[in-house]
Amino acid sequence: MFGNTITIVGNMTRDPEYRTTQSGLALTKFGLAWNMRTRDGSENVSFFEVTCWAELAENVSKSNLAKGSRVVVVGRLDQNTYETQNNEKRSSVQIIADEVSPSLRWATVDVAKSERFNNTSQTSQARQEPSHSQASESSGETSNDSGDNFDEEPF
């Protein structure tokens, strides 16, 4: 992330739309509304187009996120200018997402690790080791919550 990182918490205005480019790269887009209430009681709403690429695009499209879901988006701003058929100049701001997650302020989620491939084409599921809590339960050892175990993949 370089320089113009933005974090926005808002509601999805439509379901994520998944597609692939001609070269086969995954792409998911969705709308995001961000509301800001002012001291006088009025409300300002900003709308953004959010674009996700590659693995993030696949994970967003496979998740349980839908229109109305409250999400946290971290990414960078990208402004596009264009001309309408009536020769009016317009501009739009989109967010190129680096991270998308559900907001847990008013909801809960069940997290499932997605399947990834390493250099030898083994799936992470095939080489997955038990978590700290599973290993300590089965062996009777106490869990080490310090996070110093570098042998496991980060979740």
The per-residue pLDDT for 115 is: 77
The pLDDT value given to residue 2: 58
> Is 70 exposed, middle or buried (CB count within 10 Å of its CB: 0-12, 13-18, 19+)?
middle
Is the Cβ–Cβ distance between 54 and 27 less than 8 Å? no
**Quick one: pLDDT at residue 130?**
38
- Tell me, letter by letter, the H, E, C secondary structure of the chain: CCCCEEEEEEEECCCCEEEECCCCCEEEEEEEEEEEECCCCCEEEEEEEEEEEHHHHHHHHHCCCCCCCEEEEEEEEEEEEEECCCCCEEEEEEEEEEEEEECCCCCCCCCCCCCCECCCCCECCCCCCCCHHHHHHHHCCCCCCCCCCCCCCCC
Question: Do 134 and 151 contact (CB within 8 A), yes or no?
Answer: no
Contacts (Cβ under 8 Å, ≥6 apart) of 80:
91, 92, 93, 94
d(CA 81, CA 91): 4
What does the pLDDT read at residue 112? 85
Domains and CATH numbers, the chain: 5-108 (2.40.50.140), 113-143 (no CATH)
Indicate the pTM of the whole model.
Answer: 0.67
Kindly list the averaged pLDDT for each block of 10 residues, start to end, along the chain of length 155: 83 97 96 90 91 96 95 94 93 93 91 66 38 39 42 48
- What pLDDT shows up at residue 26? 97
